[in-house]
């Protein structure tokens, strides 16, 4: 989409522009849905999910006002995604309009997010991830081969899994680094590509290597690559 993405700032200082902002919001969602129809999911889906989380945090802040008595909002802190309170309501923010716009927007936002997630789930079910050679015990670093069906190209990435631990949960993220692309009409067997990588990058003498098998003509950057990364991370987390 050509216009800037909607962020939390869009929902503040609504004032007399309430209906105008509704139409603008609907236009942005329409643009996202047009992208989804072309199976171009990212980065739109990720931004919408983040926006939903931020708006729900603000709604929780409004709920606290109703539950805890006559505290007033000092300001909406966009950067830290929280509401600050004081005894007097600032004159330059129409809090009721902000809350009304958020509550009106959330169901439409969730509906659009569901459409994007449905596409991702369909793509994920349509692709397979296979070992290239013998899978080593250590698989937190290695290589992945991801095809761009429309471009007749095989992209080679190096990946690394990082593990973060919070107070009660463990999170894993997968970072990929692009290495090179190969024309599939002249590319050697996958085992041969793996041997070439071993010779070129001595720090991984026995790398875990996975090949994504995909037959659908799906946009590579916007859909196939992020979905295949998510599926690979899920496999490595088992």
**Which DSSP string corresponds to the chain?**
--SPPP-GGGGSS-GGGHHHHHHHHHHHHHHHHHHHHTT--TTHHHHHHHHHHHHHHHHHHHHHHHHH-S-EEEEEETTTTEEEEESS--TT--HHHHHHHHHHHHHHHHHHHHHHHHHHHHHHHH-EEEESSPPPS--SEEEEEEEETTTTEEEEEEEEEEEEE-SS-EEEEEEEEEEEEEETTTPPPHHHHHHHHHHH-TT-SS-EEEEEE--S---IIIIIHHHHHHHHHHHHT-
For the question of whether the overall pTM of this predicted structure is more than 0.85, the answer is no
pLDDT at res. 87: 43
Give a yes or no: residue 73 inside a domain.
Answer: yes
Together in a domain, 142 and 117 = no
Give a yes or no: residue 100 inside a domain.
Answer: yes
Write the pLDDT tens digit of every residue in 160-210.
998 887 666 778 899 999 999 999 888 779 999 999 999 999 999 999 999
Question: Domain limits at 37?
Answer: 8-125
Together in a domain, 75 and 134 = no
Give a yes or no: residue 20 inside a domain.
Answer: yes
**Residue ending a domain, choose from 97, 125, 153:** 125
**Residue ending a domain, choose from 125, 160, 188:** 125
**Residue ending a domain, choose from 91, 107, 125:** 125
Number of domains in the chain: 2
Write the pLDDT tens digit of every residue in 29-85.
999 999 999 999 999 999 999 999 989 988 887 666 555 544 556 677 767 767 776
């Amino acid at each position: 989409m050509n216009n800037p993405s909607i962020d939390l700032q869009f929902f503040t200082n609504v004032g007399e522009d309430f209906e105008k902002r509704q139409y603008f919001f609907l236009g942005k969602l329409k643009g996202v849905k047009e992208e989804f129809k072309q199976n171009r999911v990212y980065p739109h889906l990720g931004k919408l999910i983040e926006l939903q989380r931020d708006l729900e945090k603000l709604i929780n802040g409004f709920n606290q006002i109703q539950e805890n008595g006559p505290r007033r909002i000092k300001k909406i802190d966009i950067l830290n995604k929280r509401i600050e309170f004081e005894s007097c309501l600032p004159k330059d923010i129409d809090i009721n309009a902000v809350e009304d716009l958020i509550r009106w927007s959330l169901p439409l936002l969730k509906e659009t997010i569901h459409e994007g997630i449905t596409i991702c789930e369909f793509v994920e079910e349509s692709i397979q991830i296979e070992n290239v050679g013998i899978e080593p015990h250590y698989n937190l670093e290695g290589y992945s081969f991801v095809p761009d069906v429309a471009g007749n190209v095989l992209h080679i990435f190096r990946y690394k899994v990082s593990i973060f631990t919070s107070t009660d949960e463990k999170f894993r993220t997968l970072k990929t680094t692009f290495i090179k692309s190969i024309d599939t009409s002249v590319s050697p067997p996958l085992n041969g590509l793996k041997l070439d990588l071993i010779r070129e990058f001595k720090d991984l003498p026995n790398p875990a290597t996975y090949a994504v098998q995909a037959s659908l003509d799906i946009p590579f950057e916007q859909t196939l690559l992020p979905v295949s990364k998510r599926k690979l991370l899920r496999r490595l987390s088992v």
